[in-house]
Amino acid sequence: MLAIQVASPNQHIRPLTSRINESGHLTIGGCDVVELAQRFGTPLYILDEHTLRTACRQYTGALSRHYPGPSLALYASKALSLLAVSAVVAQEGMGIDVVSAGELLTALQAGVDARTVYLHGNNKSAFEIGLALDAGATVVADNWLDLETLADLAQDRPEPPRVMVRMTPGIECHTHEYIRTGHLDSKFGFDPNELPQVLAFLARTPTLHATGLHAHIGSQVFDLQAHIDTARVLVEWFNKALTLGLNFSELNIGGGLGICYTPTDDPPSIEQWVATVSRAIIDACQHYNVPLPRLLCEPGRSLIGPAGVTLYTVGSTKTVPDIRTYISVDGGMSDNPRPITYKAQYTAAVANKMNDSRRSVVTIAGKHCESGDVLLRDVELPPLAGGDVLAVFSTGAYNFSMASNYNRLTRPAIVLVSDGEASIVLKRESLDDLLRLDRLPERLQP
C-alpha cells in the first residue's frame, strides 16, 4: 500500500501518490510512468484514483463537518465526463452536474442515481430537457426558454419535474474573463432584475416543482470573499422565494475553487472553501430567519484537475540563438487547449530523469501547425533529448474534455492508476476512428 498523504489535492501540483523510484522515474498510483508511456504510447493522460477519491471525500466530509443541514456535493462533469470518473464520484456519495445529452448519458450509464443528477446549460434543447426529465434528473433553468420548455414537457407527467433556477449574482471574481460567469454581463442565468417575474411564474405553475436557486461565479477562483458574497445573494433570494409561498429547499453555490498549476498558485484548501461557504450560508439564513436549505456545490477542476497528468514523448529541438530553445512534443493544443485559449501555465517534469538536478530554460512546443501551440514557455527542466518522457501536471480538468482533432490528430488514451494497476478508461482514437464519419460523395470518388 502507498503511504497516504492527507492533503488538499488542489494545493498540490502533482497527484498525491507521486513518488520517484529507484530508477529515478516518476511513479503515480504505484505505476512507473515511463513504463506507462511505453505500454500505452504517448500522448497519454493518466488519472490518479487516490487523488480523485481524496478530493471527493474532502468535499463530502467537510460538508458534513461544517454544514449542519442536508448537503450534496455534485461533480461538474464538464471538467472530464467519463464512465469511470462518474462511477468513482458516485461511489464516493456525490451527485453529478451535466450540461448536455452526452454528459447526461455518461452519468446515467455509469450507474449514477438520476435523482442526484442536475442538468445545466444556457441553450438546452427540448430533447436534452426531455431526456433529463425522463430519467428523473433535476433541470436547472437558465432562461425563459428553459422555463417554457419545462412547463410544456411537464404537462403529462405523473410527478411535477424538479427545477432549480440559475441566477447571475452580480459578483466579480478574479479569474480569466472567459471562465468568469457570475458578473451581470454574462450569458448564463437570470439577471436579478428578472427574478421577481421568474419566482411569480413558478408560484403560478404547480406542474413544476421548483426546489431552489443556483449560482456559479467562475472557475479557478482563489478569493473566498467572492463565494461568501454569492452565498449571501442566494440566501437573500431564497428568502424572497419563501415569502412568495414557494416551497424552496435547496441552494447550489456552484463550483470554482482553484488549483495549483504552478508554485505561485495559492488556492484555499477544499476544507477552507467548504467551511467558508457553509458559514456564509448559515449566517445569512440566521439573518433572514429562514431554515437551512439543502446545500449543493458543484466542483469540477478541484476534484479531477490535480489527479491528471499528461505524458508526451520529446521529439525535435530548435534553438533560436540568444532567444529561445523550442523542444517539441508529440501532442499540444489538441490535447490541451488551455495555454492557447487562456494563456494557462503548467508545471512539468522529465519522468525518466527525476533525479537529474541540472536545469536549462526551454519552451515546450506542441506539434500543431500554429505558432501559438506552446504548452510551457521558458521553463526550467533537466536537459532534454529525443525520447525523453515529459510529464505535465494538473491536466485532469478541461484538457481531454476540451480536446480536439485539430490537424487530424487522434485523441490520447486515458489510464486510471491505482495501487500499481493501470486500467484503460478511454481508448486512444485510431486513424480509422478519424475517418469513421467521413463520407465521399460518389461524384468525388476517384
Ligand X SMILES: Cc1ncc(COP(=O)(O)O)c(C=O)c1O
Nearer to ligand X, 293 or 366 (CB): 293
Q: Kindly list the distances between the CA atom of residue 29 and the CA atoms of 18, 33, 389, in Å, as whole numbers in the listed order.
A: 7, 9, 17
Catalytic entry in 56, 173, 297, 369:
369
Closest separation between CB of residue 303 and ligand X, Å?
7
Nearer to ligand X, 254 or 293 (CB): 254
Closest separation between CB of residue 75 and ligand X, Å?
9
Report the alpha-carbon distance of residue 415 to residue 399 in Å, rounded.
14
Report the alpha-carbon distance of residue 261 to residue 69 in Å, rounded.
34
According to the binding rule CB under 6 A, does residue 137 interact with ligand X?
no
According to the binding rule CB under 6 A, does residue 76 interact with ligand X?
yes
Of 15, 30, 299, 396, the one binding ligand X (CB under 6 A) is 299
Active site residue 369: yes
Of 30, 43, 255, 337, the one binding ligand X (CB under 6 A) is 255
Which residue stretch of 71-79, 105-113, 359-367, 424-432 sits at the interface with ligand X (rule: CB under 6 A)? 71-79
Helices (H), 160-263: 195-203, 224-243
Nearer to ligand X, 175 or 310 (CB): 175
Q: Residues 346 to 375: which contact ligand X by CB under 6 A?
A: none
Exposure of 217 in the CB half-sphere (CA atoms within 13 A)? 25
According to the binding rule CB under 6 A, does residue 300 interact with ligand X?
yes
According to the binding rule CB under 6 A, does residue 302 interact with ligand X?
yes
Q: Smallest Cα–Cα separation from 101: which of 73, 68, 80, 130?
A: 130
Which residue stretch of 85-93, 283-291, 295-303, 369-377 sits at the interface with ligand X (rule: CB under 6 A)? 295-303
Task: Determine how many CB atoms are found less than 10 A away from the CB of residue 128.
Answer: 21
Of 79, 246, 333, 348, the one binding ligand X (CB under 6 A) is 79
Nearer to ligand X, 97 or 146 (CB): 97
DSSP letter at 122? S
54 within 8 A of 98, measured Cβ to Cβ: no
Closest separation between CB of residue 386 and ligand X, Å?
36
Q: Smallest Cα–Cα separation from 158: which of 136, 127, 141, 139?
A: 136
Of 49, 103, 142, 298, the one binding ligand X (CB under 6 A) is 298
Report the alpha-carbon distance of residue 251 to residue 210 in Å, rounded.
11
DSSP strands (E only) in 231-355: 250-252, 294-297, 308-320, 324-329, 348-350
Of 15, 182, 254, 337, the one binding ligand X (CB under 6 A) is 254
According to the binding rule CB under 6 A, does residue 81 interact with ligand X?
no
Which residue stretch of 202-210, 228-236, 285-293, 298-306 sits at the interface with ligand X (rule: CB under 6 A)? 298-306
Question: Under DSSP, is residue 151 helix (H, G, I), strand (E, B) or coil?
Answer: helix
According to the binding rule CB under 6 A, does residue 97 interact with ligand X?
yes
Closest separation between CB of residue 275 and ligand X, Å?
17
Cis before 291? omega within 30: no
Q: Smallest Cα–Cα separation from 340: which of 398, 389, 426, 414?
A: 398
Q: Smallest Cα–Cα separation from 136: which of 153, 115, 106?
A: 115
Of 162, 301, 367, 368, the one binding ligand X (CB under 6 A) is 301
Nearer to ligand X, 76 or 415 (CB): 76
Q: How far is CA 281 from the centre of its chain?
A: 24
According to the binding rule CB under 6 A, does residue 308 interact with ligand X?
no
Question: Under DSSP, is residue 425 helix (H, G, I), strand (E, B) or coil?
Answer: strand
Which residue stretch of 72-80, 286-294, 383-391, 408-416 sits at the interface with ligand X (rule: CB under 6 A)? 72-80
Residues 6+ apart with CB under 8 A from 357: 382
Nearer to ligand X, 216 or 368 (CB): 216
According to the binding rule CB under 6 A, does residue 216 interact with ligand X?
yes
Closest separation between CB of residue 78 and ligand X, Å?
6
Give the cell for residue 121. 446549460
According to the binding rule CB under 6 A, does residue 95 interact with ligand X?
no
According to the binding rule CB under 6 A, does residue 133 interact with ligand X?
no
According to the binding rule CB under 6 A, does residue 120 interact with ligand X?
yes
Which residue stretch of 152-160, 251-259, 334-342, 425-433 sits at the interface with ligand X (rule: CB under 6 A)? 251-259
305 within 8 A of 79, measured Cβ to Cβ: yes
Q: How far is CA 288 from the centre of its chain?
A: 33
What is the four-CA torsion angle of 267, 273, 276, 281, rounded to 10 degrees? 140
Of 219, 310, 313, 363, the one binding ligand X (CB under 6 A) is 219
Closest separation between CB of residue 74 and ligand X, Å?
8
Q: Smallest Cα–Cα separation from 141: which of 108, 113, 119, 159?
A: 119
Report the alpha-carbon distance of residue 237 to residue 191 in Å, rounded.
12
Nearer to ligand X, 97 or 330 (CB): 97
Which residues are designated catalytic? 369
- Judged by the rule CB under 6 A, the positions of this chain that interact with ligand X are 76, 78-79, 97, 120, 181, 216, 219, 254-257, 298-302, 397
